[in-house]
Amino acid sequence: MSFILFPILFAFTFLSSPVLSASDLVLAKVDRRIDLTSQIVRITTSLKVQNTGSDVVSEILLSFPENQASNLAYLKATLGDGKGKSKPSSGVGLPVEVVRPKDVPPSLTIYSVSLPKGLGKGDSLTLDVLAVFTHSLQPFPEKINQADIQLLLFQESAHYLSPYAVKVQSLTVKLPDARIESYTKLENAKLQGSELKYGPYENLPPFSYLPIVIHFENNQPFAVAKELVREIEISHWGNVQITEHYDIIHAGSQSKGEFSRLDYQTRPFLRGASAFRRLVAKLPPRAHSVYYRDEIGNISTSSLWGDSKKTELEIEPRYPMFGGWKTAFTIGYGLPLGDFLFGSDGKRFLNISFGAPINELVIDTLFVKVVLPEGSKDISVSVPFPVKQSEETKLSHLDIVGRPVVVLEKNNVVPEHNEHFQVYYKFNSLSMLREPLMLISGFFFLFLACIVYTHADISISKSSASYLAKLQLDEVINLLYYVQSSVFVIEYNTCVLLCRCKQLFSRSMVSLAVA
């Protein structure tokens, strides 16, 4: 296993060159924690930064290898409390952008974190950084049988890769369970239960890199949505309708060989350990009219429960999801308008979450479509992270020109992107009367047309040849009907007369016989 990854890891050995080492910043202490318990890799780093120079520093640089930067989905930096216990996701994030300093190798991606206040001579601060990566766990082997477990490879550096010198640093890797096939054994490395610890390491030069490889078991769901279209439709009559179209694949070790339903049903944890059967979606509170269906129709194996604080939907596909298998389905639900639509400075704005509600779902491409009421104008959007924005029009019932639709597109989406965003627009309240007036007008003209139709003479002109021919035809038909009726009356009278004569003749014969 090691010799397969050696060419990749060897490419970083040159990074120990003193690039950017002229900086006066020093990392007095670095604590890193890597979470490998799901398909999403989360690296939380606490940096104690000191300024040993005489100039004020207004930014701190973060470096990532190229293979990591290509899978970086979310990066957030916050000022910590110095205790190493704060969570970067809970504070206000500092501005972060990609920079390209001189003399930096192309195999590195550098991010600049702007400080709210310059760091003076002799000052220090604690910076907490959360980096979230997708598609960073490599299945090994890539194909497995139904009864096999799923093994993954993860590669990192035991040393913190930084453009600054590091005095003391340590690394902790959290694994799903205690089963580890192998890991790189270094000095000061030890395995304690499901945690693998490296360090502490002291007095590391800038861009120090010490590769490690971990081969471990992880049978958690590797659900990846290749594409998700999330439509949010606003109705000022009191409802926000959410419709989500999922196209999901199991991105773990691909399944090979035949699938046995009998083995899976009798021993699912042994004959289908790498598969997942259900997903959980955490919907907003007070969600109603929830449905879950696919191309065939409604799927009744879902479960819904909740209270005033949360609503959870447990969805179960029609078949267990093994590696490489795909499924597509749609989730829909309604939300109270008053919980998400507000007014400010003469405008209305929608305040709702951006990402998908399903736990630990990776989305390769996400489209969020916000359908505004017809007549909305002066539309603007506020999103806490970069997205592609466009507009389109949707025609629905009782629409004249169509409803404006704001389309937001983002790639490589993780649960950390499930933050609130806002869509501002102006809307005249009188426009709400448009649809009721159209319905009333439609029924009025329909009844009016019925009245006109029943009372109007729509026959052809009485002087035309066709009208005269129609009259002659009616006379012939009436005459034939009269003749037919007369013949029927004559035949009926004749029959009655014959019957009467027969009766009289019979009585006469009886009288003669008696005499």
Band the pLDDT of 173: cuts 50, 70, 90. Answer: very high
Q: Which of 313, 413, 315 is nearest to 355 (CA)?
A: 413
The pLDDT of residue 10: 41
pLDDT digits (tens, 9 = 90+) for 43-94: 999 999 999 888 889 999 999 998 899 999 999 999 987 554 545 556 788 9
Task: Write down the pLDDT at residue 2.
Answer: 41
**Helix, coil or strand: residue 45:** strand
| Mean pLDDT, residues 7-14 | 45
At 340, the pLDDT band (50, 70, 90 cuts) reads: very high
What is the DSSP code (8-state) at residue 354? Answer: -
Q: Residue 285 corresponds to which tokens in the numbers above?
A: 């509170």
What CA–CA distance (Å, rounded) separates 275 from 267?
12
Residues 6+ apart with CB under 8 A from 38: 218, 220, 360
- Does the pLDDT at position 5 exceed 80? no
Sequence-separated (6 or more) residues with CB below 8 Å from residue 86 = 46, 78, 80, 128
More confident: 502 or 386: 386
Q: What is the average per-residue pLDDT within 219-238?
A: 92
Task: Say what the pTM is.
Answer: 0.79
**Phi then psi dihedrals of residue 429, to 5 deg:** -65, -30
Task: Give the per-residue pLDDT at 405.
Answer: 96
Q: Which fold has domain 25-217?
A: Immunoglobulin-like (2.60.40)
pLDDT band at 17, cuts 50/70/90? very low
DSSP class per residue in 86-135: --GGGSPPPPEEEE--TT--TTEEEEEEEEEEEE-TT-EEEEEEEEEESS
Long-range contacts of 264-271 (CB under 8 A, 24+ apart): 264/146, 264/320, 268/320, 270/147, 271/146, 271/147
With DSSP H G I counted as helix, E B as strand and the rest as coil, what are the percentages for the chain, rounded to 5?
Answer: 20, 45, 35
The two three-digit tokens of residue 202, written as one number: 């002291």
Give me the mean pLDDT over the 90-109 stretch. Answer: 84
Report residue 254 as tokens: 């691909």
pLDDT band at 237 (very low <50, low <70, confident <90, very high): confident
Per-residue pLDDT at 11 exceeds 70: no
The chain-wide mean pLDDT, for the chain, equals: 85
Q: How far apart are CA 346 and CA 344, in angstroms?
A: 6
Q: What pLDDT sits at residue 8?
A: 46
- The beta strand positions in 146-220, using DSSP E, are 151-157, 165-174, 180-183, 189-192, 195-204, 211-217
The predicted model gives 30-52 an average pLDDT of 95
| pLDDT of the residue at 136 | 94
Q: What is the pLDDT of residue 248?
A: 95
User: For residue 21, is it left (φ>0), alpha (ψ between -120 and 50) or beta?
Assistant: alpha
Residue pair 199/171 in contact (Cβ under 8 Å)? The answer is yes
> 424 is written with which tokens?
């501002």
C-alpha–C-alpha distance, residues 143 and 151, integer Å:
10
Q: What number of residues does the chain have?
A: 515
Beta bridge partners of 224: 249, 362
Distance of CA 404 to the CA centre of its chain: 21
pLDDT-derived band at 510 (thresholds 50, 70, 90) equals low
> Which pLDDT band holds residue 463 (cuts at 50, 70, 90)?
low
Q: What is the mean pLDDT of residues 398-409?
A: 87
CATH number of this structure's domain 223-433: 2.60.40.1730
Tokens 């600049």 — which residue? 112
Q: Rounded mean pLDDT of 109-119? A: 92
Taking the CB of residue 119, how many other CB atoms lie within 10 A of it?
Answer: 21
Which is more confident, 508 or 371? 371
What is the DSSP annotation of 219-240?
-S--EEEEEEEEEEEEETTTEE
What would the 3-class secondary structure string for 356-421 be?
CCECCCEEEEEEEEEECCCCCEEEEEECCCCCEEEEEEECCCCCCCCEEEEEEEEEEECHHHCCEE
Amino acid at 383: V
Whether the CB-CB separation of 19 and 163 falls below 8 Å is answered with yes
Q: Any idea what the Cα angle at residue 320 is, between residues 316 and 326, rounded to 5°?
A: 90
Q: What mean pLDDT do residues 14-21 have?
A: 45
Euclidean distance between CA atoms 354 and 368, whole angstroms: 7
Asked if residue 108 lies in contact with residue 65, where contact means CB atoms within 8 angstroms, the answer is yes
